[in-house]
């Protein structure tokens, strides 16, 4: 490879010694030429020599949150100099290290850099413009998709008709064709990772789970540095060594990054509903892995639901391995045949595994002009996006946000997202807690009138809960303040639980499948909540951290409710915590129920009289 094809990079400190932390690879790497030091033009030629620039968060105005992943948040941002609007994916360094995701982050950068620069990019694949970092975060600057996730549109409409499904399936096929020709398999194709640009065409994104399956096809980008080549090799070696060691106990632990040799065997990565059987078996993976996910995605576009569904990941993965799914009665015949030939356990006989022409020539794609698909008119299913809407937001200088991503900016962005949810989706936690979580006084004689009214309201709600809520039998006759399904991660899998925040305070969690009380989060004065993004939050206790994921994206509301209950019952929590520590019972799970006890509970529930009492 000639010097002109090398990728130039600026070091944070070129004079430093040779031992460099692996995350220093995120010093600003621009992946295209731009005379005005901005992030345009949007087209690049393979082999173009690139200048070196420094980038930092203070050079961007962060406008709003576009979406969230397992360990990242994507923002809409406007470059201060040049005014270009981009998507900026932000990853917390401490999360990357703590959860052993360093390999995924490095892999994503390598793959995106190769696809965007060495291979010249593709209209249906997200393009990386630059990466940089600061002491707390890593940043990927990429294309922006104004219509958001395909999943969001699918949820809004319920399902797509066959022509719409055909169009987006065809564009996904073309995107995968490009990625596979570059020696890369995506491994996490799903409606959430298909974004829609302003022009209505797709953009395949999120290459954190991607893997190189053919090193003869993959062209790794090379970096030009002011330092000697030996220093670059030492940095690479140190990066790869740390990446390998950091993944020894992770979910994709056998994906060794050492020397950036791209192992083809892999354990389960990606999203459970779309993961292929060969991934679950730990077999070698290749393009058929993505074709399986394509089949699941087409099924969901037409039916409105994923083909494999279960109450938890364990049962879900069993269904995948047994090919346990069924088409709805109204599912059209041609798409049904197409999906049936993709959702095949053996990847060798899966449609497209030997020749993509077989897949593209299926009757489902009749009428698709594969040579001109980039210029085909997309379906008219999106509300209009006014041109320049982001720039218009910044024209009033009084309200112009400051550049950067400090705590004030994060609070502003969080509040903006809550406002965009609309009042119907928001929960007034303060009023709900004040109106329901009433301490019952021991002396009712001197009770003020307002407290009597509050107690009466509480009693009415409790009576209704006894009659109508099947989870009442698990909460010790306490009033439920907040409830909802939460995915609780422990070990390899996340298990869905019904979480019940009650007066007292208590935070119970129940297996909704077996209707078994699995445990209670122990309260203490040092207990604290931590919001990672709208879906993810942690509850820190002295003995354990609870890793929780809310599928309804109400993490902030859960944390606020828990924190308010902690303040309200502060004295009681302190007393019970001191007593439990003294007795040695703090954090003990006292709620393991035998099968007989569970049956007794269900019998009691079924025999509840008309008043709701047992």
DSSP 57-106: GGGEEEEEEEEE-SSEEEEEEEETTT--EEEEEEEEHHHHHHTT-HHHHH
Strand bridging mode 516-520 / 506-511:
antiparallel
Q: Using an 8 Å Cβ cutoff, are 211 and 266 in contact?
A: yes
Question: Which residue, among 445, 447, 477, has the nearest Cα to 459 in the 3D structure?
Answer: 477
How big is the chain by its Cα radius of gyration, in Å? Answer: 27
Kindly name the residue from 103, 143, 188, 487 that is annotated as catalytic. Answer: 188
Going from the C-alpha of 468 to that of each of 123, 213, 436, the distances in angstroms are 53, 54, 17
CA 199 to chain centre: 25
* CB distance 89 to 128 below 8 Å: no
Cβ atoms of 491 and 251 within 8 Å: the answer is no
Q: What angle is formed at CA 548 by the lines to CA 144 and CA 248, rounded to 5 degrees?
A: 80
Report the DSSP beta bridge partners of residue 64.
76
C-alpha of 501 from chain center: 25
Cβ neighbours of residue 540 closer than 8 Å, sequence gap 6 or more? 526, 527, 528, 529, 530, 546
The CB-side HSE value for 606 (13 A sphere, CA atoms) comes to 6
Told to judge if 188 belongs to the known catalytic residues of this protein, a careful annotator would answer yes
| Burial of 576 from C-beta contacts in 10 A (0-12 / 13-18 / 19+) | middle
Can you tell me whether residue 540 is helix, strand or coil?
A: strand
As a whole number of angstroms, the distance between CA 370 and CA 394 comes to 40
Cite the active site residues. Answer: 188
């Amino acid at each position: 490879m000639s010097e002109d094809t090398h990728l130039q990079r600026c070091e944070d400190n070129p004079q430093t010694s040779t031992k460099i932390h692996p995350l220093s690879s995120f010093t600003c790497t621009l992946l295209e030429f731009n005379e005005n030091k901005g992030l345009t033009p949007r087209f690049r030629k393979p082999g173009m020599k690139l200048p070196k620039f420094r980038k930092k968060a203070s050079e961007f105005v962060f406008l709003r949150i576009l979406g969230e992943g397992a360990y990242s948040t994507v923002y809409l941002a406007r470059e201060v100099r040049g005014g270009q609007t981009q998507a900026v994916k932000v990853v917390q360094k401490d999360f990357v290290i703590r959860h052993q995701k360093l390999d995924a982050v490095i892999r994503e950068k390598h793959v995106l850099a190769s696809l965007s620069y060495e291979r010249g990019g593709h209209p249906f694949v997200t393009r990386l413009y630059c990466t940089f970092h600061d002491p707390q975060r890593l940043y990927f600057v990429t294309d922006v998709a104004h219509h958001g996730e395909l999943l969001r549109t699918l949820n809004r409409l319920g399902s797509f008709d066959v022509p719409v499904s055909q169009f987006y399936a065809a564009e996904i096929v073309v995107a995968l064709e490009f990625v596979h020709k570059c020696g890369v398999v995506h491994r996490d194709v799903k409606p959430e990772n298909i974004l829609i640009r302003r022009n209505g065409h797709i953009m395949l994104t999120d290459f954190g789970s991607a893997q190189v399956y053919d090193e003869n096809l993959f062209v790794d980008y090379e970096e030009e540095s002011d330092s000697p080549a030996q220093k670059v090799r030492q940095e690479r070696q140190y990066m790869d060594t740390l990446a390998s060691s950091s993944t020894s106990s992770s979910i994709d632990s056998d994906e060794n990054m050492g020397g950036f040799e791209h192992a083809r065997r892999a354990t389960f990565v990606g999203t459970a509903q779309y993961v292929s059987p060969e991934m679950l078996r730990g077999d070698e993976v290749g393009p058929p892995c993505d074709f399986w996910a394509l089949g699941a995605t087409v099924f969901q576009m037409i039916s409105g639901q994923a083909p494999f569904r279960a109450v938890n990941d364990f049962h879900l993965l069993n269904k995948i391995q047994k090919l346990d799914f069924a088409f709805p009665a109204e599912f059209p015949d041609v798409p049904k045949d197409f999906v049936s030939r993709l959702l095949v356990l053996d990847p060798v006989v899966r449609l497209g595994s030997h020749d993509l022409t077989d897949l593209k020539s299926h009757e489902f794609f009749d009428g698709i002009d594969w040579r001109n698909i980039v210029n085909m008119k997309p379906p008219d299913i999106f509300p209009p996006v006014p041109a320049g809407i982001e720039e218009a937001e910044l024209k009033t200088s009084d309200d112009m946000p400051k550049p950067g991503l400090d705590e004030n900016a994060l609070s502003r962005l969080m509040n903006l997202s809550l406002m965009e949810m609309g009042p119907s989706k928001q929960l007034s936690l303060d009023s709900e807690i004040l109106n329901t979580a009433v301490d019952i006084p021991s002396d009712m004689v001197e009770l003020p009138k307002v407290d009597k009214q509050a107690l009466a309201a509480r009693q009415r709600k409790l009576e209704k809960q006894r009659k109508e809520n099947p989870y009442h039998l698990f909460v010790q006759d306490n009033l439920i303040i907040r409830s909802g399904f939460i995915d609780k991660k422990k070990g390899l899998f996340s298990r869905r639980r019904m979480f019940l925040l009650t007066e007292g305070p208590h935070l119970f969690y129940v297996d909704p499948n077996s209707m078994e009380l699995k445990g209670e989060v122990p309260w203490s004065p040092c207990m604290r909540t931590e919001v990672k993004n709208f879906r993810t939050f942690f509850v820190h206790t002295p003995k354990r951290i609870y890793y929780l994921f809310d599928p309804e994206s109400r993490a902030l509301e859960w944390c606020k409710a828990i924190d308010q209950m902690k303040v309200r019952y502060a004295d009681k929590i302190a007393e019970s915590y001191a007593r439990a520590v003294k007795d040695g019972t703090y954090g003990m799970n006292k709620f393991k129920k035998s099968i007989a006890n569970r049956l007794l509970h269900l019998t009691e529930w079924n025999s509840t009289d008309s008043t709701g009492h047992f």
